[in-house]
Amino acid sequence: MSELALPTVLFVCVHNAGRSQMAAAFLTHLAGDRVHVRSAGSAPADSVNPSVVTAMAEAGIDISAEVPKVLTTEAVQASDVVITMGCGDTCPVFPGKRYLDWQLPDPAGQGVEAVRPIRDAIETRIRTLIDEITAA
Residues tagged active-site: 13, 87, 91
Distance CA 11, CA 125 (A): 12
3-state SS, residue 4: helix
Distance CA 122, CA 104 (A): 8
How crowded is the C-beta side of 57, counted as CA atoms within 13 Å? 11
Cβ–Cβ under 8 Å, residues 102 and 125: yes
- Taking the CA atoms of the chain, what radius of gyration do you get in angstroms? 14
